[in-house]
Structure 1
């Protein structure tokens, strides 16, 4: 818990620095798949861009689902604490709360950009308060019987999964990888930001750095104040080990007060993830690559935000959340899929910059001669961890405990590739990657509202309209 977080945070920072270079050079809401198309060979750029766009979309949707499902579980943990630990929620009840959270997030993420920016400031402030409250107040309030020695907090190793200790330690990376992920959100809202070439890369790097340091400090505080009965924490009727640690230290009323902030911060994180996911989906839809692209590529006339994509991502997240009804293994698949999908989407453009011949021009944020070593470490790390999280949590497993990440993610990717290579209507016949975007009637007519099909004629018409309107000056 302590050292796994520290090790993983360092490698995540490498990934963030590699992405920050790309975000500084080309800050656009299309981000990952835009970079992939720009840096890859003409022979494979369309296919790679298609794959990155879909894995980024899958990762963003599953990220929203995993965060909001976690928030629903935390709400139910609060109900359990308030009932004196007599209330044990069912999966159906958790899903009901999850659906309500998603609906409220749709309204929040449909607001105007200026309002969302002010909300983000509030989110950061409350997040920092919560972090320092746990780091400082928990050790002060913890009774003596739950305080641990330094040898236990920093040196004890408890392996309950049956894997060899080395591999079990690697599995501890799931917590920081899931928590410090989705930092591509900064890229996806770059077209709504000022001074994006500087703001976006530093947003990526500083968010990872702050999350890594504060997260490690919180884990240290928990390790010293959790007691030694780890089985008791995991099997707590509250359903959340962290909530049980708070309950042991603060008592019922104080735990409910502190836990309300935990729920609130998790709720805010979910809305931020939906915000970034909707912008990435909007960017992919304006190139006609998603189903219903004609409907998705619409800006709301009142809020000036892509409300349709907010609704679209929320619906997909709701459907993905149905997996939670199948039990813990299916829920874990959602969490793992959010990491693996995003890592595939991160790794391809980072590698493409160096693997293929291109005219990459660095932005204000540049690692110089360290760019290639950092990118190499980043890609190898993401490849390794993607393989790790396809394995089940237990070495001896059955149908119920299998890791279904490969099924859900693999099935989605197979369907997307099937659509790409579909005879006559597939993306291979009309998808040319990111195209210049300026409002034109020809483009609106060329995009199908039911299938997102974009044929060669519609692309040509769009580019012709851009040329007439001075589209060369309108590149994002």
Structure 2
């Protein structure tokens, strides 16, 4: 990969200097504090902005988040009760209560390892570029640009498509909640056309972008309020449905041991396909890294927040799922419903008014999740554009200092989501692939720096503020094993035999995105993309 860079020392110096010139398309670079082999040495008295400058970037965003606020935003990104509610059909089809409860618990334990693995690396390289910056710095010099390019596009595509999936999922959940009111038994009062669904999606998308951009300074307060709202709402749902239970209650044996499959797959693989439920809800684990440049002490705050949030999420998920399993109506009837959770709640409370009241906390949390995903996706897009990897980078890397937000990058992300949403008019099954693509892309992007770090002996982690030692090695292996399983898993149809309505288009969309990014690299990136700014001279060889 060295052919795209000047080879003699004078030319290298001129090339490196050109990256700092106004209008060059690259961020201003500062003198390094202490760079050894491409790694930044950190000390307790080094401020977050000084550390960012040592990594090659000029601080442009206000650091207004504490450790708790970062953890709260990470929690809202996952939005566990809402995320689990919108995808509950997967484990219902795959294995019933066993898949719902034990699948969630098992995946949560695995995601702890993913969070630990990413947290270790983030403690060394805390930038908004996240995993793609880490991939660049951890890779051997000859592979740095291509590794960061691949990882950067995976991370960006994952952030944008998962935000799209969240906002459209909110649209469908909203319709499902309305239809707890019925015009006749089994028939909801609202049967929206494709245009009506798309207009609701547009309204939610515009709302999330407006709040994220205009209220950026107040988002930490919103995230803090969200966690209290979540647990109050979940407790209200749990107590009400268990106490009222108009349809009766199952035994504990049923809740924790009953397994029934409706997928057509063999039992073991059917259970695995049901894990899509938990995989989708935990896919946002690494998205919080994009907020590193708005955190006061990202080297320690972000890793701790990522890991702590998994335990909060696990508890909140069990608190939500176990009561639902105690009052499950007939599973075959639930499978025919597009949104089973409103149906379960209505069956338990016995009336539409009570059901919509209990669904309201989930709807509010859905919007808050969309706002957090919009924020994280805009930072990811901005960071990648800042390093010149996105066409028109000079526009997308600009920061609106009045709003203290990368507004242009946010608008780019929003426009892409709106355009991709039009696919729903062609095929609802094709649109559903975007949630799968988001998870696949994010999972793959997380795996890249973890794999590079592990297979290079974890050298960059020596002396890191968040180094888990031997457990870190174990966590790396588990995280990579999960990635190897989850990526093909999210390409599988949830039921067989496959029809045009049940086929999983995620691999098609994923391959298309990969081909487009590869073509852009061949046509432009190979000669023009230099990767993130670095003070390590090896990066230019």
Normalised to the residue count of structure 2, the TM-score between the two structures is: 0.77
In structure 2, the partner of 1:186 is 288
1:25, 1:362 within 8 Å by CA — same for their partners in 2?
no
In structure 1, the partner of 2:232 is 129
In structure 1, the partner of 2:272 is 170
In structure 1, the partner of 2:522 is 421
Tell me which of 168, 179, 189 is aligned to 1:80: 179
CA distance in 2, matches of 1:19, 1:197: 12
Tell me which of 145, 156, 167 is aligned to 1:57: 156
In structure 2, the partner of 1:433 is 531
CA distance in 1, matches of 2:460, 2:292: 22
CA distance in 2, matches of 1:397, 1:3: 27
1:91, 1:327 within 8 Å by CA — same for their partners in 2?
no
In structure 1, the partner of 2:68 is none
CA distance in 2, matches of 1:131, 1:428: 50
CA distance in 1, matches of 2:267, 2:425: 31
User: What secondary structure sits across from 1:363 in the alignment?
Assistant: coil
The alignment status of 1:138 with 2:221, answered yes or no, reads no
1:24, 1:362 within 8 Å by CA — same for their partners in 2?
no
User: What secondary structure sits across from 2:347 in the alignment?
Assistant: helix
Aligned pairs, number: 432
Q: Deviations 1:300-329 (Å, cap 9, x if unpaired)?
A: 131121011111111111222223334442
Q: Would the alpha carbon gap of residues 328 and 136 (structure 1) be closer, same or farther in structure 2, given more than 3 Å must change?
A: farther
In structure 2, the partner of 1:344 is 444
In structure 2, the partner of 1:232 is 333
CA distance in 1, matches of 2:157, 2:122: 20
How far does residue 400 in structure 1 lie from its aligned partner after superposition?
Answer: 4.0
Q: Deviations 1:193-212 (Å, cap 9, x if unpaired)?
A: 11111110111111111111
CA RMSD of aligned residues (A): 1.9
Written as runs of structure 1 = structure 2, the 5 A alignment for 1:21-420 is 21-84=120-183, 85-111=188-214, 113-143=216-246, 145-227=247-329, 229-236=330-337, 239-250=338-349, 251-356=351-456, 358-420=459-521
How far does residue 399 in structure 1 lie from its aligned partner after superposition?
Answer: 4.0
CA distance in 2, matches of 1:398, 1:112: 44
CA distance in 1, matches of 2:333, 2:192: 18
The runs of at least 4 consecutive aligned structure 1 residues that moved more than 6 Å come to none
1:21, 1:362 within 8 Å by CA — same for their partners in 2?
no
1:113, 1:192 within 8 Å by CA — same for their partners in 2?
no
Q: Deviations 1:102-158 (Å, cap 9, x if unpaired)?
A: 011111111354311111112222122222222333211212x33112222222212
In structure 1, the partner of 2:54 is none
CA distance in 1, matches of 2:297, 2:483: 29
2:429, 2:500 within 8 Å by CA — same for their partners in 1?
no
CA distance in 2, matches of 1:190, 1:37: 17
CA distance in 2, matches of 1:201, 1:133: 32
CA distance in 2, matches of 1:121, 1:209: 17
2:289, 2:302 within 8 Å by CA — same for their partners in 1?
yes
Q: Would the alpha carbon gap of residues 90 and 153 (structure 1) be closer, same or farther in structure 2, given more than 3 Å must change?
A: farther
Q: Deviations 1:142-176 (Å, cap 9, x if unpaired)?
A: 12x33112222222212111000101100111111
In structure 2, the partner of 1:464 is none
CA distance in 2, matches of 1:269, 1:60: 13
Gaps of 5+ in 2: 1-99
2:453, 2:460 within 8 Å by CA — same for their partners in 1?
no
CA distance in 2, matches of 1:352, 1:427: 22
Shifted more, 76-85 versus 156-165: the winner is 76-85
1:35, 1:349 within 8 Å by CA — same for their partners in 2?
yes
1:139, 1:221 within 8 Å by CA — same for their partners in 2?
yes
Q: Deviations 1:230-275 (Å, cap 9, x if unpaired)?
A: 1212224xx4110001111222111111212211101100110110
Gaps of 5+ in 1: 438-458, 461-476
CA distance in 1, matches of 2:478, 2:270: 22
In structure 2, the partner of 1:15 is 114
CA distance in 2, matches of 1:66, 1:152: 32
